[in-house]
């Protein structure tokens, strides 16, 4: 199994744990750090809709909590033709993405498209003096 296949399988597996009783739209995200460590997250909805957390948000939180600060590659899996990260998650991924971060968008059978961060979030907001 290739590294990308493993990342896809991790995202697909965590998607099954999503809590999405309101939308019934389950999403899984898997992030790979430059050293190959994988972190995952799934969407967690709430009766108060704005409290809901995206899959990417959960995965980024896990990565940061483990002491990592960089994302080299990401896979987002949803049962849709093109389950791209929402605007907030594009900004989240940009914050921690390496210069060459690629975000792969997948349905349940496999990866459908791959994007650079510049394609997902052109002219992104960044603080030049970002502290890490
Ligand atoms: Zn999102």
Is 44 assigned a ligand-binding role in the annotation? yes
Is 9 assigned a ligand-binding role in the annotation? no
What is the 128 CA–ligand 1 centroid distance (Å)?
24
For the stretch 1-22, pLDDT in tens is 899 999 999 999 999 999 999 9
* Active site members: 56
What is the 55 CA–ligand 1 centroid distance (Å)?
7
Residue 6: partners with Cβ closer than 8 Å, 6 or more residues away: 38
Is 86 assigned a ligand-binding role in the annotation? yes
What is the 45 CA–ligand 1 centroid distance (Å)?
12
Q: Does residue 131 sit in helix, strand or coil?
A: coil
Mean pLDDT estimate for the chain: 96
* 129 part of a folded domain: no
* 48 part of a folded domain: yes
CATH number of the domain at 33, please.
3.40.140.10
Check if the beta carbon of residue 14 is closer than 8 Å to that of residue 41: yes
Mean pLDDT of 90-106: 97
Owning domain of residue 86: 3-120
Tokens found for residue 48: 């108060």
* 45 part of a folded domain: yes
Check if the beta carbon of residue 11 is closer than 8 Å to that of residue 29: yes
Q: What is the 3-state secondary structure (H, E, C) of 26-76?
A: CEEEEEECCCCCEEEEECECCCCHHHCECHHHHHHHHHHHCCCCCEEEEEE
How far apart CA 22 and CA 20 sit, in angstroms, is 6
Domain count, the chain: 1
Distances in whole angstroms, Cα of residue 7 to Cα of each of 13, 17, 36, 58? 10, 16, 10, 16
The whole-number pLDDT of residue 131 equals 61
């Amino acid at each position: 199994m290739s590294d990308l296949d493993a990342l896809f399988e991790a995202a697909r597996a965590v998607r099954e744990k999503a809590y999405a009783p309101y939308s019934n739209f389950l999403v899984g995200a898997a992030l790979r750090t430059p050293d190959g460590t994988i972190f995952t997250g799934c969407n967690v909805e709430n009766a108060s809709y704005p409290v809901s957390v995206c899959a990417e948000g959960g995965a980024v939180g896990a990565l940061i909590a483990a002491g990592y600060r960089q994302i080299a590659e990401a896979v987002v899996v949803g049962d849709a033709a093109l389950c791209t990260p929402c605007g907030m998650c594009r900004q989240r991924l940009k914050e921690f993405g390496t210069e060459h971060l690629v975000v792969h968008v997948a349905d349940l059978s496999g990866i459908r498209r791959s994007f650079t961060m510049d394609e997902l979030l052109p002219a992104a907001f960044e603080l030049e003096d970002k502290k890490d």
